[in-house]
């Protein structure tokens, strides 16, 4: 019995990082579907279980696309109404995500570690001011032209290919100034474009050997479940309180990243 117990402990210890990663994937996809910023959760979890910075980032990008896909399926009734925007934004999205991921490949580990705190800070601040941006766009009536949206979407996709945290927030900020779509239709469009960004970047990063397959599988499973479950609950959750919680979490993570960089 003692021997069996020891084996069980060893197995549990070996499986625990993957269980935590799967739970982080579920939570990240759920938060992304409701408020945005969930990628911060999954990325920090991958760092916590011991993955190097670039590997954690690449694994995160590859694994979260099922969560975006199942989240988009949860908003499937809006697909027909956003199809034209999706088609027009596909070329800049694909080009940006592939180029961003190639830029990650040629970035050194030391340089990426230095950049991370600033990228997370930017994503967190954007999430913090998300409501003000939406309110400003609604009150001002300002609308971007189609080509301007395409350029901004290319830049967001490039960022997403390089570092995935915050792309959903960025896309919502851009698209809130385009076509006057409501939040549910914006979420549908954002989720489908996030699939393209993560899948395009993931193909490059996987081919370059920057993805940990075991943790990617655990994160992918959790994200797929979390994305679909949260899409049906998105209208029942207080997204404002969740957004504030993610902002606080992001600021704590920024502090830790700077401490880790300077320690």
Predicted confidence at residue 157, as pLDDT, reads 92
How far are the Cα atoms of 112, 176, 194 from residue 134, in angstroms, in the given order? 31, 6, 20
Predicted confidence at residue 171, as pLDDT, reads 80
The burial class, CB within 10 Å (0-12 / 13-18 / 19+), for 227 is: buried
Do 59 and 116 meet the contact criterion of CB atoms below 8 Å apart?
Answer: no
Residue numbers of the chain with a pLDDT score lower than 50:
8
Predicted confidence at residue 179, as pLDDT, reads 58
Predicted confidence at residue 233, as pLDDT, reads 62
Total domains present in the chain: 1
Residue ranges making up the domain that contains 40: 2-262
pTM for the complete prediction?
Answer: 0.79
């Amino acid at each position: 019995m003692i021997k069996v117990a020891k084996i069980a402990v060893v197995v549990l210890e070996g499986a625990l990082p993957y269980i935590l990663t799967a739970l982080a994937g579920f939570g990240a996809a759920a938060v992304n579907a409701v408020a945005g910023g969930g990628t911060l959760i999954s990325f920090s979890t991958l760092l916590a279980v011991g993955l190097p910075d670039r590997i954690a980032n690449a694994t995160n990008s590859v694994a979260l696309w099922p969560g975006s896909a199942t989240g988009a399926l949860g908003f499937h009734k809006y697909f027909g109404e956003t199809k034209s925007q999706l088609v027009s934004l596909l070329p800049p999205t694909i080009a940006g995500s592939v180029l961003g991921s190639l830029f990650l490949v040629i970035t050194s580990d030391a340089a990426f570690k230095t950049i991370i705190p600033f990228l997370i800070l930017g994503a967190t601040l954007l999430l913090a001011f998300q409501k003000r941006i939406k309110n400003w766009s609604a009150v001002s009536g300002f609308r971007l032209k189609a080509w301007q949206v395409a350029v901004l979407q290319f830049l967001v996709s490039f960022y997403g290919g390089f570092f995935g945290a915050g792309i959903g927030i960025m896309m919502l900020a851009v698209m809130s100034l385009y076509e006057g779509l409501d939040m549910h239709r914006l979420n549908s469009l954002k989720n489908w474009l996030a699939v393209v960004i993560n899948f395009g970047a993931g193909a490059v990063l996987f081919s370059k050997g920057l993805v940990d397959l075991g943790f990617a599988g655990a994160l992918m499973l959790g994200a797929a479940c979390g994305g679909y479950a949260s899409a049906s609950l998105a209208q029942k959750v207080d997204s404002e309180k969740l957004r504030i919680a993610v902002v606080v979490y992001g600021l704590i993570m920024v502090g830790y990243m700077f401490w880790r960089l300077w320690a």
